[in-house]
Amino acid sequence: MNLRSLRNPPLNIARGKHAEATQDCRMIMPGRRYHLETAADERKNDRLLLKSVIQRNWSRVGSGVLEKADGKTEPCFVKQYIDRTGATHRDHLRYEHDGAQVAASALGEIVIVPALLLKDEQRLLNIFTQVELITVDELLREDEHAFWQYYPLLLERLADVLAQLEASTSLVDTSSLPVKVRDYRSRGLALNFKGFEIRNTGYHLPLTSCNGNSPTILPPVVMFDFVRPYLAPIEEAAAKLLISIGLLNWGKPLSRFIKGPDIDMLDMAHHYIGDWTHREALEAELAMQRGFRFDAIKGANRSESSLKKIGLRSIGHRYLGQLGKWVENHYE
């Protein structure tokens, strides 16, 4: 994870801005050192030198250096759970902490899961190993040729991830995880994550050249921002993945948003992972995304939020309608 991999429109926070405290904690600021408040006794003298911070919709993220008590240093990625409105989200701190640990145990041999280094509950911080990556949606927008070169190989790997999620109920301890009961038929429970989607997937940098023939080796795949782990039908995990692929054109640039879902992209994903889910699970996920994207709209101010709502009414409904039609055409 790094600062070039932010999917939300960034608001660069200059030093000294937003100096007021929230109810629970103060916003972290670049250029400062923080003595970390951690439950691990051996890490109580560790410090964080914060180099940069960007405000996202639901959190503040940054890069820095973890200065350990033994004199060693380690580049790190930092996430503070304060949203654009200044509200704090202590539950998100816990969910992402748990998700990172469970995902590392379940999927660490298939994909790279950035290691969780420390948690500072007082400042609402999770600190992760810095991983240089380019996300799948960034690659699509920056080098579409490279995106399509790697895409079939990525789908093969994601099919392996789904198989591992299904097997994880017997491979890792899931006894403490909540169980989500769904109304539709299922082949069985599997490990699920709230943040399991294609935009939270990327490739470790540097990438190999995509000139000429298709690459025969997939770059190391990185998955992150898993958020809350839980048990639910395997069809839900596959539906989250497939619908998120259909939403890759959502947002900027406007030309992609107006275009709607990429049908070729969806059809190829259906070939590799389509059998892991069914229409009921896909429609449930699509309904959830519709509610989330239309109801939970955040902006830097009221005017930005209003503009986003207008854009969603005129373009978003059409986009989701096209995605729903694709589901209807491919699943009985």
Which tens digit of pLDDT belongs to each residue from 263-311? 999 999 999 999 999 999 999 999 999 888 876 555 555 666 666 667 6
Q: Which amino acid is at 261?
A: P
The predicted model gives 105-111 an average pLDDT of 96
Write out the residue limits of the CATH 3.30.200 domain(s) in the chain: 3-129
Residue 240 has what pLDDT? 98
How is residue 261 written in tokens? 């879902």
Rounded (5°) CA angle 205-206-212: 125
pLDDT of residue 4 exceeding 60, the answer is no
E strands, 111-228, are 116-120, 125-129, 133-135, 189-193, 201-204, 221-223
Residue 53 has what pLDDT? 96
The predicted model gives 223-244 an average pLDDT of 97
Q: Specify whether the CB–CB gap between 248 and 268 falls below 8 A.
A: no
pLDDT of residue 79 exceeding 70, the answer is yes
Q: Specify whether the CB–CB gap between 43 and 36 falls below 8 A.
A: yes
pLDDT of residue 94 exceeding 70, the answer is yes
Q: What does 25-40 look like in DSSP terms, one character per residue?
A: -PPP-TT-EEE---S-
Q: Which fold has domain 3-129?
A: Phosphorylase Kinase; domain 1 (3.30.200)
pLDDT of residue 209 exceeding 90, the answer is no
If 0-12 CB within 10 Å is exposed, 13-18 middle and 19+ buried, where does residue 145 land?
Answer: exposed
pLDDT of residue 6 exceeding 50, the answer is no
Rounded distance between C-alpha atoms, residue 18 and residue 2, angstroms: 23
- From the list 2, 49, 58, 4, the residue with the least C-alpha distance to 29 is 49
pLDDT of residue 18 exceeding 60, the answer is no
Q: Specify whether the CB–CB gap between 51 and 61 falls below 8 A.
A: no
Phi, psi (degrees; rounded to nearest 5) at 45: -100, 5
For all residues of the chain together, what is the average pLDDT?
Answer: 88
Q: What is the pLDDT of residues 127-180, one digit of tens each?
A: 999 999 999 999 999 999 999 999 999 999 999 999 999 999 888 889 999 999
